[in-house]
Amino acid sequence: MKPVFALVDCNNFYASCERLFRPDLAGRPIVVLSNNDGCIVARSAEAKALGIKMGVPVYQVERYLQQQGVAIFSSNYALYADISARVMSILEQLAPRVEIYSIDEAFLDLTGVAASTSLSEFGSQIRQTVGQHTGIRVCVGIAPTKTLAKLANHAAKQYPATGGVVDLTDPARQSRLLALVPVNDIWGVGRRLSQRLQADGIRTALDLAAADPKSIRQQYSVVLERTLRELNGEPCLSLEEVTPTKQQIICSRSFGQRITTFQEMREAICEYTSRAAEKLRQEKRIAKRLSIFLRTNRFNASEPQYMPSPGAELPIPTDDTRELVAAAARLLRTCWKDGYRYMKAGVMLTDFYETGSFQPDLFSSGSAPLRSKALMSVLDTINQGGHGRVFLAGQGLHQTWSMQRRSLSPAYTTRWQDLPVAK
């Protein structure tokens, strides 16, 4: 049986989540900012219509946002994750196999669905059900490959006449759409590739689909060859239901204010290491390698730049916050230099093993690592419970460097104090 994929994508997801609990904002433009209130990362339809671009630094458009009466929100990730989980669980009820691709997108396997009902009808059912149960609007693209399903979804968003659902299983329809799509709108073709492709005379998705797979592989890469084949309806990417285990865990942030002292940086690195260790334990992994990085402001050419990123192997892989923090602090001492204004720092864990699976080598002897499963699990339970936090002294009490979130909405669905009240 020929495979059929659907891509379900939430419209303007973060902005829509904010509006769910603020009916007074109906029809008003909304933008959501990145961490630290730096850039615009999501826009409502009204904000897009005003010409506000994705990714622009807020300070460049602050006046304009005010003039236009745009509602501004800091990122409220707890809220978006919770709404996302609700949307995804509905999709899992509707389709037998679902791959959660990102916070606001999922691929569905619709192979065989057409027997009872038409594919586009099924797409409309998805839209309706999700809309009814969560208030979130989605668009649905349906096609024989993931790459085509992405394009179908794109079209469903772009052309209101489609009613938010595009069935692209018909080859004639595929080529009509591909002729309209510029290469940079193809999934997997970014800024650099699209520049190169255009220089080679490949301007539309149809141009790429018509190119020779072998020479594309030679001149570009095996990845682009797969994209080309997928555009021609030949599936190269399959549905991945089980989330593959992580290869690396990163925790990094820009600071609310520049950091200039070792003490503050030490706090920040401790904090990020603790967050990374929590994620590691959630994954049920232990890590053998830890690295940290510091960054000055690369946008400011007149300032001296320093961006060290030292790393180290741990004697024995671990998921214990205290051991990881100690290692991170050692690395910080090796690379710290006074006299710079640091903008950002981060911690990265790599080289994972399953908890309990690691064989220590014959010669790593002696010093029993301070490690306690019980302690770490108590730490996690308390910190995930929402009734206060327990942390290492090194993380700092005041965290003067922590990020700015001036326009944060309440955690409507994940904190009792913030529950919306119907009057």
Residues at the contact surface with DNA, assessed by CB under 7 A? 34-36, 38-39, 41, 55, 57, 59, 101-105, 150, 186-194, 221-223, 244, 246-254, 258, 275, 279, 297, 299-300, 311, 343-344, 346, 403
Is 28 or 253 the residue whose CB approaches DNA more closely?
253
- Which tokens go with 351? 């080289």
In the complex, minimum distance from the CB of residue 60 to DNA, in angstroms, rounded to a whole number: 8
Please state the closest distance from residue 338 (CB atom) to DNA, in A: 18
Which stretches within 283-390 are classed as H helix? 321-335, 373-385
With respect to DNA, which residue has the nearer C-beta, 90 or 151?
151
Q: How far is the CB of 370 from DNA (least distance, A)?
A: 26
Work out how close the CB of 232 gets to DNA at its nearest, in angstroms, rounded to a whole number: 18
Q: Which is nearer to DNA, 113 or 347 (CB)?
A: 347
Q: Which is nearer to DNA, 232 or 291 (CB)?
A: 291
Which token pair is 124? 């409309």
Dihedral angle computed from the Cα positions of residues 93, 95, 97 and 100, in that order, rounded to the nearest 10 degrees: -70
Cα 227–Cα 154–Cα 96 angle in degrees, nearest 5: 80
The strand ranges marked E within 147-233 are 165-167
For DNA, the closer of residues 28 and 86 by Cβ is 86
Task: Return the number of the residue (122 or 187) whose C-beta is nearest DNA.
Answer: 187
Q: Cα separation of 34 and 58, whole Å?
A: 9
Min. distance of Cβ 23 from DNA in angstroms? 26
Residue 113 or 278 with smaller CB distance to DNA:
278
Q: Measured between alpha carbons, how far is 335 from 307 in angstroms, rounded to an integer?
A: 9
* Amino acid letter, residue 385: G
CB of 1 to DNA, least distance (A): 26
CB atoms within 10 A of CB 345: 22
What is the 8-class DSSP label of residue 246? P
Cα 192 to Cα 184, 188, 196, 199, 413, distances in angstroms: 9, 11, 6, 11, 40
Least distance (Å) between residue 217 CB and DNA: 7
Q: Report which of 6, 8, 11, 7 is spatially closest to residue 137, judged by C-alpha positions.
A: 11
Distance of alpha carbon 141 from alpha carbon 275, whole angstroms: 37
- The residue (of 250 and 316) whose beta carbon lies closer to DNA is 250
* 28 vs 196, beta carbon nearer DNA: 196
Q: Nearest CA to 225 among 172, 147, 152?
A: 147
167 closest CA partner among 126, 233, 116, 120: 120
Q: What is the nearest approach in angstroms of DNA to the Cβ of residue 413?
A: 20
Residue 248 CB, shortest distance to DNA, in Å, is 4
For the bound state, the minimum distance from the C-beta of residue 276 to DNA, rounded and expressed in Å, comes to 8
* Rounded-to-integer distance, Cα 182 and Cα 258, Å: 41
Cβ nearer to DNA, comparing 221 with 305:
221
DSSP result, 46-67: HHHHTTPPTT-BHHHHHHHHHH
Q: What do you get for the CA distance between the two ends of the chain, in Å? A: 54
Residue 94 is encoded by which pair of tokens?
């509707």
